[in-house]
Amino acid sequence: MSIIVQRRRDTRTNCQAGTPADGELWWDQTLKALRMGDGATLGGYLHKRWGYSYPLIPAQITANQNDYNPTDLSIAETILLNSDAARTITGIAGGAFGRNIKLINRGSFEITLANSSASSTAANRFLFEADIVMRPNAAVEIQYSTTDSRWMRTSGGVKFATIPQELLLTGVISPAQITANTNDYAPTSVALATTLRLSTDASRNLTGLVDPRDGAMKMIINVGSNPLVLKNADAGSTAANRFDFGNDVTLAGKQAALLRYDGTDARWKLVSSTAGAAVAAGAVTAQTLAPSALGARVGMINGTFVESRVGGAATYAVKTLAGTDPTSADPVFFVFNTGGGGYVIRAVTAALSIVISSGSSAGAINSVAFHLWLVAFDDAGTVRLGFKNCWTGTVLSGLNEAFPASSTAEGGAGGADNAGTFYTGTAVASKYYCIIGVASYEAGLAAVGTWGIAPSWMQLYGPGVPKPGEPVGEVTQMLTSTTTSTTATSYQNTGVTVSPTLKSAANIAKVSWWGGLSGANSSAAVYAGLHRGATQIGPEYIEFLNVASASLVGPLSGEWLDAPNTTTPAYMIKIKAQATNTTRFPENTSGGNGGMKVEELMS
At which of 254, 279, 304 does a domain end? 279
The band of 118, judged by pLDDT with boundaries at 50, 70 and 90, is very high
* C-alpha closest to that of 509 among 477, 542, 461: 477
Asked if residue 591 and residue 484 are part of one domain, the reply reads yes
Closest CA to 435 of 460, 410, 457: 460
Same domain for 526 and 555, yes or no, is: yes
Q: How far apart are CA 561 and CA 571, in angstroms?
A: 12
Residue 161 included in any domain: no
pLDDT at 343: 87
For the chain, the straight-line distance linking the first and the last C-alpha, in angstroms and rounded, comes to: 120
DSSP 442: T
Percent of the chain with pLDDT over 70: 89
pLDDT of 409 strictly over 80: yes
**pLDDT tens figures, 72-95:** 887 788 899 999 998 999 999 988
Identify the CA nearest to 388 among candidates 461, 476, 485: 461
Domain presence at residue 330: yes
Residue 548 lies in a domain: yes
For residue 559, pLDDT beyond 70 = yes
The predicted-structure confidence for 128-141, as pLDDT tens digits, reads as follows: 888 888 888 888 99
Q: Are residues 227 and 336 in the same domain?
A: no
Helix (H) / strand (E) containing 292: helix 286-292
Q: Is the dihedral of CA 443, 447, 449, 451 positive or negative?
A: negative
pLDDT higher at 596 or 518: 596
43 and 59 assigned to the same domain: no
514 and 375 both lie in a single domain: no
Residue 157: the pLDDT is 36
Strand partners for 555:
516
Q: Are residues 274 and 321 in the same domain?
A: no
In a domain, 447, yes or no: yes
pLDDT of 109 > 80? The answer is yes
CA Rg, the chain, in Å?
45
Q: Say whether pLDDT at 171 is over 60.
A: yes
3-class secondary-structure state, position 223: coil
Q: Categorize the per-residue pLDDT at 591 as very low, low, confident or very high, splitting at 50, 70 and 90.
A: low
Question: Per-residue confidence at 279, pLDDT binned at 50, 70, 90?
Answer: very low
Q: Are both 14 and 62 inside the same structural domain? A: no
Query: Residues 267, 301: one domain?
Result: no
pTM over 0.85: no
Considering the domain architecture, whether residues 389 and 531 belong to the same structural domain is answered as no
Q: What angle do CA 39, 45, 48 make, to 5 degrees?
A: 155
What average pLDDT does the chain have? 86
User: What are the DSSP calls for 401-425, one per residue?
Assistant: TTS-B--EE-TTTT----TT--EES
pLDDT of 319 strictly over 70: yes
Q: Is the pLDDT of residue 45 over 80?
A: no
Does residue 355 sit in the same domain as residue 500? no
Residues 260 and 295 occupy one common structural domain: no
On whether residue 64 sits in a domain, the answer given is: yes
Residue 529 falls within a domain, yes or no? yes
Same domain (yes/no): 313, 243: no
Q: How many other CB atoms sit within 10 Å of the CB of residue 16?
A: 19
In a domain, 187, yes or no: yes
d(CA 431, CA 420): 17
Kindly state the average pLDDT of the residues 340-363.
93
Q: 6-15, 88-97, 107-116, 192-201: which range is least confident on average?
A: 6-15
Q: pLDDT-derived band of residue 52, with 50, 70 and 90 as boundaries?
A: low
pLDDT tens-digit series, residues 479-530? 888 889 888 999 999 999 999 999 999 999 999 998 888 877 666 788 899 9
When pLDDT is averaged across residues 271-298 and rounded to a whole number, the result is 60
- Please indicate whether residue 565 or residue 135 has the higher confidence score (pLDDT): 565
Q: Which pLDDT score, from 0 to 100, does residue 164 have?
A: 61
Domain final residue, candidates 225, 260, 279: 279
pLDDT band of residue 547 (cuts 50, 70, 90) is low
In a domain, 163, yes or no: no
3-state secondary structure of 250: strand
pLDDT attached to residue 191: 80
CATH of residue 41's domain is 2.10.10
The residue from 436, 465, 494 where one domain ends is 465
Q: Domain range holding 101?
A: 55-153
Question: What is the tally of structural domains in the chain?
Answer: 5
